[in-house]
Amino acid sequence: MNRLVMTAVAASSAATLSFAVPKASAQPARDIVGTWTLVSAVAARNEVFGADASGTLVFGSDGRYALIFLRRDLRKFAATDRRSGTPDENKSVVQGSIAHFGTYAVDEVGKTLVFHIEASTFPNWTGAEQHRAFSLHGDELTYTSPGSIGVATQVTMRRVKEVR
C-alpha cells in the first residue's frame, strides 16, 4: 500500500512539474501568434506582388496558420463567374497571388519557422514541410521563403494591432 501511495505521489509531482516548466520553444512561438500584414515580398530586388501588395498571415495559438498574398492591381474578370476567366485573366491571378495553410512550429535552435503546408494555390507546395529562417524585432517579422517563383523571397510582415 505504501509503495502504491509513493508511486501516485511521484506521478502527480512529475505531472505538476511538466505543466509548471515551460518548454524552451514556447516563448518564441507565443511571440508570433496573431495577425500580420504584408509589408513586402522581395525576390531578386523585385516586389513579387507589386509595390502595393496586400497580404495577411495569421498564426493561431493552436499551431495552425493561414497565409494569402496578392497584388492589389489584379484586373477584374470580364465574366461574373470566376470559372469563366480567360487564359490571360487566369494567368494574372496565378502569377499575382499565393495562398496556403496548415500547421506551424518555431524551431528556436535553428531560428526557423517550420510550415507544414496542408494545401496551397501553388500545388507543388501541398504536403511540403518548409523551414524558413526568420527574425522578430518588435512588431516586424522577417523571413526567407523558398519562393513560389523559383527564387528565394525575403518577406517582411507587420503585426496588426488589436481592434478594441
Asked whether residue 11 is assigned to any structural domain, the reply reads no
148 in a domain, yes or no?
yes
Is residue 111 in a domain?
A: yes
CATH code (residue 153): 2.40.128.280
Residue 5 lies in a domain: no
Instruction: Examine residue 84 and state whether it is found in any structural domain, yes or no.
Output: yes
From CA 153, how far away is CA 71, in angstroms rounded? 15
Helix (H, G, I), strand (E, B) or coil at 33: coil
Residue showing cell 480567360:
86
pTM: 0.79
Give residue 81's domain range: 25-159
Could you tell me which of 111, 30, 91, 97 has the C-alpha nearest to residue 68? 97
pLDDT at 96: 95
Summarize pLDDT for 56-79 with one digit per residue, the tens: 999 999 999 999 999 999 999 999
Q: What total of structural domains would you count in the chain?
A: 1
